[in-house]
Amino acid sequence: MSRARYPRRLPAVALVAGLALAVSACGGGTTGTVVPEAAPSASAEQLNPNANLSKQNLTISVWPGYTPEDLAARVEEKLKVKVKVATHDTNEIIMGKLTAGADSGIDVAFVSGQYAQALNEAGLLEPIHPELIPNLANLYPEAKELAYDPGNTFSVPYTWGTTGICYRTDLLKTPPTSWNDLLAPPVDARKKVTMMTTERWLALPAVKALGLSVNTKSEEDLAKVKEKLIAAKPYLLGYDDVTFGDRLKSGEAVMVEAWDGWCPTSEKNIKFVVPKEGSDLWVDTMVVLKSSKNKEAAHAFINFILDPKIHGWAALNILYKVPNKAAMDKVPAELKQKNAPLQMSPSELLAGESIIDLGEDSAKYTRLATEVKAAQ
């Protein structure tokens, strides 16, 4: 099996700060998981459920390796719709395209939840029309309880998971149970620990260790987070969003901050744990652009993805859980046994705190990450 070669969230620090200002309509969240009242519907037009899809063309933008290589051919065979698949390496790159002010030509984009929220509050998304997506019935009920989009009104979840500590059982005397084990590691782990470089995830270990919300905007809170992260720097091997799994397998690292699906738990001596202080709930979604001239085909595409045989590809090939009960029921027990994160239930995932868009306050996390990484 192959994994996606690129993570969903590589940093583009300057661009993030710019987007926070450009999408100033993004009201941001409170320090809990309550989302501000959404902007009015992006479009009031009525879609035609009997539209001739063969007269529509689709352009999809997705992370490399995040869908089957023959996705376009499969969609064309099933829906008789011509499909072009474009790729973006990061959320920031696709956000730059979608918020540039002109029609991007993209019909459906894959973005993480808080970015979908930002796009919707900027008036750039078509509301989801459930009558055109009958396969929404395959989703877990919990998939409608996502803080950035309760009820899936403007986005449809594709994958979901959490962040924790991925570690070598044979190279650590004591298994980690707390974020503090990562921030202040035991002697045998010092200089063999990595943390993520993307802003919200760089902050996450210290945020949760301090008992704070992943969506805190408090300057006082973030000052404490900064202090704790700087204190952890002498123990780090480095900040790493890409190669931490390889470093763990080689033994260069013994403990790393990791997204669950990127922790190589199929390896004999590698395990994943959600620290006792709790963690996040991240979601990658599909959204339809308001500017799309092929909205019926866009909805038909999302419905196609939600077919259990199609949606289950992500769990089988990139080891990310999908919020599709029918698809997860088809994942072989042997694969789940070898990759413990695949065994997490929706209720366990929802115990994590949803990351939401913070609007202009997102720049605070950009500044935090920059200052922490620059600190001596």
Per the DSSP assignment, residues forming a β-bridge with 286 are: 110, 156
The winner for highest mean pLDDT among 40-44, 84-88, 355-359 is 84-88
244 with 256: CB under 8 angstroms?
yes
The kind and range of the H/E element at 371 are helix 362-374
Query: What is the rounded average pLDDT of the residues 57-68?
Result: 96
| Residue type at position 135 | N
The model's confidence at residue 45, banded by pLDDT at 50, 70 and 90, is: low
What single string gives the DSSP state of each residue in 196-256? --SHHHHHHHHHHHTT--TT---HHHHHHHHHHHHHHGGGEEEE-SSSHHHHHHHTS-SEE
Query: What is the rounded average pLDDT of the residues 55-69?
Result: 95
24 with 99: CB under 8 angstroms?
no
The model's confidence at residue 82, banded by pLDDT at 50, 70 and 90, is: very high
What pLDDT is attached to residue 164?
98
Output 10 or 125, whichever has higher pLDDT: 125
Residue 158 pLDDT > 70: yes
Q: What is the mean pLDDT of the chain?
A: 88
What pLDDT is attached to residue 9?
45
Write the pLDDT tens digit of every residue in 106-117.
999 999 999 999
pTM: 0.85
Residue 27 pLDDT > 80: no
Q: What is the dihedral of CA 314, 318, 323, 327, to 10 degrees?
A: 50
The two structure tokens encoding residue 358: 């913070």
Output 253 or 42, whichever has higher pLDDT: 253
Query: What is the rounded average pLDDT of the residues 320-331?
Result: 96
The kind and range of the H/E element at 365 are helix 362-374
Which of 50-64, 210-224, 234-248, 343-357 is predicted least confidently? Answer: 50-64
Query: What is the rounded average pLDDT of the residues 223-228?
Result: 98
CA count, 13 A, side-chain hemisphere, 266: 14
Write the pLDDT tens digit of every residue in 188-222.
999 999 999 989 999 999 999 999 999 999 999 99
Which of 42-46, 270-274, 276-280, 322-326 is predicted least confidently? Answer: 42-46
